[in-house]
Amino acid sequence: MGFSKDFLWGGASAANQCEGGIDEGGRGLANVDVCPAGADRNAVITGHKKMLRMDGSHRYPAAEAVDFYHRFREDIRLFGEMGFKVYRMSIAWTRIFPHGDEEEPEEEGLRFYEDVFKECRKYGIQPLVTISHFDCPVYLIERYGGWRNRKMVDFYLHLCRILFTRYKDYVTHWLTFNEINMILHAPFMGAGLCFEEGEDEEKTKYQAAHHELVASALATKLAHEVNPENKVGCMFAAGSVYPYSCRPEDVWEALLTDQENYFFVDVQSRGYYPSYAVKRLEKRGVFPQMQPEDKDILRQYPVDFISFSYYNSRCIAASKEQEKAEGNLFQSAKNPYLKFSGWGWPIDPLGFRITLNEIYDRYQKPMFVVENGLGAADCPDGEGYVEDDYRIEYLREHIRAMRAAVEEDGVDLMGYTSWAPIDLISAGTGEMKKRYGFVYVDKQEDGSGTLERIKKKSFYWYQHVIKTNGEEL
Ligand code: BGP
């Protein structure tokens, strides 16, 4: 009973949030590099402020991040010590292709990830690789307009071909795009989109989304051709949507929000645009332009498994006057029955079980939880030790709920990677002080610190969870 013997326990990170070293190894500039911390961040990540170069008046947290680029051996050793079976990580596209449209890849970049994979294998850790985690070369944005341009499909597939071939012996589990539905909420991060004055933003977002969906299907095809052992997953930001009340208007709004969210996975998993999307996008005049072959591509190459992040549930009211709660770049009404994190995100472990059930009911495919965790401001003692009982509590309740979903509800779950095994930069705010790790990194909000790694209390706790295969929490 409980989790299967080969359940994949581990942690998840993203290149731009942990690597740093942005001008080393021949790497080019990426959209995520030019997202500043502070007041302008939101306008930049939503595509409303075009800042495609770094300037002297902003701070750019991705530039150094937590220096995984130089310290990956130490970090992976710590993951090994916790007993990780899997490490979810992403590729910085511009390490492989600095501009994005070159023919020949950058050998130094390829070698860097090969070294990372070898290091993982040394500890029996299997890499789970996100091909694009909010990652797009700036050159492709300037030259082609990012994912609004169909040409991106070819550039992305060229990257995929290089990755699948070169890393055939190290990697068999791939995710095509991180949180693909985030394109609607943070389109610069999700698709390299900067909007022009007067542009129909929704139309552009759905066009870019269509290109990513086609690219994802073709990447799945390619992955299977290069290595029949390859398994490819989609990845979306999940979290059940609750109606604020049983008023039918609230229930209806919640359903619409759900459909907006599931749209991407409906296409990636079922292989066609769901009828609700066809009708609504056509009515709003934003149905994307398609090539004649697209329908077949989507239908023929659905994903092998469904992966998702879960941080919280959402609560939706028909009336816009309800008090708001924060969340993973989504806003929702404040649920009066829940507690909230220091950043105002709802905490809802039962919501996790509900979400797991909903997704499994909808798709009937193996699932992988690839992000879940608590962002908190840790206070280290004189030795740098953090007693993060609040994080343990959050994870314990969520893993308990996940176990119930497996044990009592029968959902098919391949693994769980918590966000994040080591402190890193926040995607939403660019802050360092919003920490998620089992390992503390001595790096402060103003960029100071030694970058030393120190195990937190949760490190030992998670180690025990893995050792007992989730039996002892
Ligand atoms: C998801 C992203 C991650 C990660 C996480 C936590 O949306 O896939 O990259 O950062 O959320 O969010 P934040 O960093 O804003 O706290």
User: pLDDT tens digits for 4-31?
Assistant: 999 999 999 999 999 999 999 999 999 9
Distance from C-alpha of 235 to C-alpha of 111, rounded to nearest angstrom: 26
Residues 6+ apart with CB under 8 A from 120: 76, 79, 87, 126, 127, 170
Asked if pLDDT for residue 233 goes beyond 70, the answer is: yes
Is the pTM higher than 0.75?
yes
Average pLDDT, the chain: 96
- The response to whether residue 327 sits with its C-beta less than 6 Å from ligand 1 reads no
For ligand 1, atom 5: residue with the closest CA: 427
Distance from C-alpha of 452 to C-alpha of 11, rounded to nearest angstrom: 19
Mutate to test the pocket of ligand 1, among 32, 180, 309 (most ligand atoms within 8 A of CB): 309
Confidence of residue 1 (pLDDT cuts 50, 70, 90): confident
- The response to whether residue 18 sits with its C-beta less than 6 Å from ligand 1 reads no
**Looking up tokens 């690597």, which residue turns up?**
19
- Which amino acid, 99? H
For ligand 1, atom 2: residue with the closest CA: 427
Identify which of 316, 409, 303 has the alpha carbon closest to the alpha carbon of residue 361.
409
Structure tokens at 246: 């049983």
Query: Pairing state of beta strands 324-325 and 305-309?
Result: unpaired
Identify which of 297, 313, 304 has the alpha carbon closest to the alpha carbon of residue 364.
304
Distance from C-alpha of 203 to C-alpha of 391, rounded to nearest angstrom: 40
Q: Please provide the size of the chain in residues.
A: 473
Burial of 355 (0-12, 13-18, 19+ CB in 10 A): buried
250, 317 Cβ separation under 8 angstroms: yes
Residue 8 parent element (H or E): strand 8-12
Burial of 162 (0-12, 13-18, 19+ CB in 10 A): middle
- The response to whether residue 235 sits with its C-beta less than 6 Å from ligand 1 reads no
Confidence of residue 332 (pLDDT cuts 50, 70, 90): confident
For residue 328, the CA-to-ligand 1 centroid distance in Å is 7
Spell out where 180-291 has E strands: 231-237, 241-243
User: Of residues 179, 197, 293, 387, which has the active-site annotation?
Assistant: 179
- Which amino acid, 420? A
For ligand 1, atom 15: residue with the closest CA: 428
User: What is the SS3 assignment for 239?
Assistant: coil
- The response to whether residue 428 sits with its C-beta less than 6 Å from ligand 1 reads yes
Active site residue 371: yes
Structure tokens at 223: 């992955």
Q: What is the pLDDT at residue 121?
A: 98
Identify which of 71, 165, 67, 172 has the alpha carbon closest to the alpha carbon of residue 121.
172
Q: What is the mean pLDDT of residues 198-225?
A: 98
CA angle centred on 464, ends 392 and 123, rounded to 5°: 115
User: What is the SS3 assignment for 89?
Assistant: strand
User: Of residues 19, 119, 212, 371, which has the active-site annotation?
Assistant: 371
Asked if pLDDT for residue 46 goes beyond 70, the answer is: yes
Confidence of residue 319 (pLDDT cuts 50, 70, 90): confident
CB atoms within 10 A of CB 389: 12
Q: What is the pLDDT at residue 329?
A: 62
Distance from C-alpha of 383 to C-alpha of 362, rounded to nearest angstrom: 49
- The response to whether residue 47 sits with its C-beta less than 6 Å from ligand 1 reads no
Mutate to test the pocket of ligand 1, among 17, 307, 328 (most ligand atoms within 8 A of CB): 328
Task: Quote the DSSP letter at residue 421.
Answer: S
**Looking up tokens 């092998």, which residue turns up?**
304
Q: What is the pLDDT at residue 374?
A: 98
Structure tokens at 133: 């985690």
- The response to whether residue 179 sits with its C-beta less than 6 Å from ligand 1 reads yes
Q: What is the pLDDT at residue 16?
A: 97
Distance from C-alpha of 385 to C-alpha of 234, rounded to nearest angstrom: 37
Distance from C-alpha of 85 to C-alpha of 124, rounded to nearest angstrom: 7
For residue 274, the CA-to-ligand 1 centroid distance in Å is 28
- What is the tens place of the pLDDT at every residue in 450-466? 999 999 999 999 999 99
- The response to whether residue 434 sits with its C-beta less than 6 Å from ligand 1 reads yes
Active site residue 179: yes
Distance from C-alpha of 135 to C-alpha of 129, rounded to nearest angstrom: 13
For residue 341, the CA-to-ligand 1 centroid distance in Å is 14
* Angle in degrees, 0-180, between the axes of helices 201-226 and 151-166, rounded to the nearest 10: 30
